[in-house]
Chains A and B, each alone.
Chain A
Amino acid sequence: MSCPDVIVVGGGIVGAACAKALADDGQRVVVLDQGSCAGGATASAMGHVVVMDDSDAQGALTIWSQTLWDELADELPAGAERETCGTLWVAADERELQRAHTKQEWYADRGVAAELLDGEAVAATEPALRSGLVGALRVPGDSVVYPPVATMWLLKRARDRGATVEEHVPVARVDGRGVELEDGTRREAGAIVLAAGHHALALLPRQLPGVALRARKGHLAITARYPGYLTHQVAELGYLDSAHGHADVSVAFNVQPRATGQVLIGSSRQFGPTTSGVEPLILARMIDHACSWMPSLRRLEVIRSWTGFRAATDDHLPLVGPVPEEVGLWLATGHEGLGITTSLATARLIADGIAGRPSAIDAAPYLPDRPQPELADG
């Protein structure tokens, strides 16, 4: 086989999006995955495509991504279950309501539609919520997708433009000119994109100073079909406290209506565990917390629970861009709990970078060699 322009290591949603963006640019792309594509973190995600306001950089990346997802809306297959259900950020008390106000201003400044609801409107919008909530922020443009099917579709589009996808091909090491497979063979390419999820850094020729990825385990549970039970993705405004806290275990209320009528219930965040088994105690904490917001959930039938690992950086931003001192090697990982959303903008940053074009947003905040914060707990 002649040497491709780009080898993408990893066929999760990030690698798949990169493959499509690069193939759209006319590059000859080969995707290598150690297992089955879309079988890693992508397989366990909730698939909430959401604009996040935790930092300006996260905001810019998620807003751009959402535009890109909207552009694909008509092309995605039915199995991608894309629905623009919007997000309802709910407030339990006046303090949280204040956050809703701040959040709305942030969205307004960036041209993202968001509407404040009072307690009565909240009850009318999502009657399953407990009574007495003081208000909510409704962000109508957020959507959900079913990540594995969206990923397989991105790969198919890349293949339609000449890309090759090889599964069950584990990569042992990467550098700027090629990759070394576990079986010892070497593959060369003009550029390498490392999108191997939370395993990615281990494949680098040398450690990146100050950069670490921690695997953050999450639990989810899904119900049988209850069409109409829920119409928005509903999350608590305190969600970011869980997402950004560095506690070993935290749970947050985050429920999602699937196109099938199922309710997907999240979520937990855990540093430490390395085994993927469902932990009944964590599941119980997550469920109790969800039921405190949405009491009738407790009677819905769960048909399955599972876990996944998010690749977390210390500053909660992904690592996207060239690897310092290794010309030709690009990194695209570290998306923690937002990689479904930000896969598309990530892919554009990578494709722009490889083509030497400027991007629609400033690429600097995501560069792998940006300074990382010092963490108290390491």
Chain B
Amino acid sequence: MDDPRGQPPASDGISLAAAEWNAGRRAFHRSPHGSARGPVCGMGVCHECRTTVDGQPHVRTCGRSARPDTRIGDVATAWYKLPRGGAQRRKPDAVTHFPSVAVLGAGPAGLTAAVHAAEAGASVLLLDENPRPGGQIWRCDHATGAPPPAHDMHRRAYDAGVSTLVGARVVHAGPPTRLFALDADDRVHDIRAEDVVLATGARELLLPFPGWTLPGVMGAGGLQALAKNGLDVRDRRIVVAGSGPLLLAVAAALRERGGRILAIVEQAPRRRVLGLGPRLLAHPSKLARGLKLTHALRGVRRLYSSWIVSADGSSDDGESLASIDVHTPGGSESIPCDLVAYGCGLVPQTEVAQSLGCRLESGAIGVDQDQRTSVDHVFAAGEVCGVAGLDAALVEGAIAGLAAAGRTAAASGLRRRRDRERRFARTFLAAWTLDDRLRALPTDDTIVCRCEDVPFGAVRFHTDPRDAKLRTRCGMGPCQGRMCGPALRWILGWRLDTVRPPYSPVPLEALATIGACVQAR
């Protein structure tokens, strides 16, 4: 699986999710109570783009490439047919890896960590569940490949001898540093590294509003990711809504691809966001990026102190998005649209860290000045240590990579830059603090747990996620609370729920293989 040229592998074509969307499919599967669901997160978290593919149920279509002969099951009767009975096939063996440093996550932070560790002489394995490295911001485009800075980093990784394992998601981890990953062919990889760098990034926070489960309401970064994988946005009427700087990046990217951005609906007050301008003067590269975005978005309608209060389906089937209602300071307004790119901020993906026992601070992995977590031999870098953007991810990755390779002295020179980036991020992001009124967005019958169709009214009086899960099924679905959990933590003040293997759904036989590996140690 190592890439011979030090380049991201050439395009596998567009994703199945994109191809199906382009062909007009809106209902990829049905929720337990029968409502139509389509892709949301674009990154394997939400499980809403699942459908039956070539007779196999529950296939996530956003992570699989479209092939001409693919058969998509009928959603209404999406139940499976597997070869039944028969003899048991032998369990496939696991592939074992012994790198000195394993880096989990090939986004900017992970790639940089891998490069620095390898350049310092460590043998490095870099793994990621995406079919191609790059993470979120450096995600490859199906047609044009990786963006230029990512290219440079890939080249350096190749030159430094980094091995990569892509299309492999870590589904189980055992103390102190053992990782188990499942690749695209469902083969188990047993990764026994001396040191681990966790660079698992963040996912989007979507606060539920009535109608948010309609196909066509997607994550902001989610729609961007789907578009990079081939979802055609040309001439689509798109509203970008929620909060944070990511909305601007997404709007610009979708516009560049031919989407018609009807409005950017930001919940933060205009005064607070525009007040950030002067701060950028001290950060010329960020200022340049900001100006570029402003230019790219000229003429686009910008609403502040505004948010979506509901979405409505089309009159013919009621199952795909037709319009949204937006609360604005001037009153409410209805906007007909084809797509909504929605995100209320980012949430660190801490599952692997939690199960390795790393201490968390405010929902992110806590690290020391060398990016060391509370667990020996486990480092962390990037958004998983707290949302702070690309520049922080890059410098943290460098520190973590050097430190994991035992070069703390070299890493110490980078601390000041890292601290500066973190400080900047803290004050910068404070401008987008969520308005308390967003807690009132879901009504009693708004579905908050998409996987299990649990309405807000069923959970609103619960104070603990475990009680709510046991009594209402909220958080019990295939995403294991990754979608509903962060939203309800913010709305209801719930604690972070515990993590149990597998971190994402795996075939039963893979769990058995992992158990056998654990014994073999």
Contacts and interface: CB of A to CB of B under 8 A. Distances in A.
**Main SS at interface, chain A:** mixed
Interface string A118-146: 00000100011111000000000000000
B480 interface: yes
B315 interface: no
Contact of A284 (B80, B505, B512): B512
B85 A224 contact: no
Interface in B466-521: 466-467, 470-473, 476-478, 480, 500-502, 505-509, 511-516, 518-519
B325 interface: no
Contacts of B88: 130, 291-292, 295, 298
A283 interface: yes
Nearest to A284: B515
Contacts of A300: 82, 507-508
A304 B89 CA distance: 23
B457 interface: no
Interface string B83-96: 11111110100000
Contacts of B87: 130, 295
- How many chain B residues sit at the interface, stated as a range, is 35 or more
Contacts of B476: 304
A305 B508 contact: no
A359 interface: no
Given A281-B515, A305-B501, A148 B470 contact: yes
Given A39-B470, A221-B511, A287-B515, A302 B505 contact: yes
Contact of B79 (A227, A265, A281, A283): A227
A36 B466 contact: yes
A157 interface: no
Interface string B226-241: 0000000000000000
Given A36-B467, A280-B514, A303 B478 contact: yes
A304 B82 contact: no
A296 B85 contact: yes
B257 interface: no
Contacts, number: 137
- How many chain A residues sit at the interface, stated as a range, is 35 or more
Interface string A53-73: 000000000000000000000
Given A148-B470, A285-B515, A296-B85, A301 B507 contact: yes
B86 A295 contact: yes
B501 A295 contact: no
A275 interface: no
A288 interface: yes
Given A130-B85, A224-B478, A39 B466 contact: yes
Interface of B: 32, 57-58, 79-80, 82-89, 91, 172, 174, 464, 466-467, 470-473, 476-478, 480, 500-502, 505-509, 511-516, 518-519
Given A225-B32, A281-B516, A302-B511, 10 more contacts: A131-B85, A225-B58, A229-B80, A280-B174, A283-B515, A284-B516, A296-B82, A300-B507, A301-B505, A306-B500
3 closest A-B pairs by beta carbon, nearest first, are: A284-B515, A298-B509, A301-B505
Interface of A: 36, 38-39, 43, 79, 123, 127-131, 148-149, 152, 221, 223-229, 260-261, 265, 278, 280-285, 287-288, 290-292, 295-306
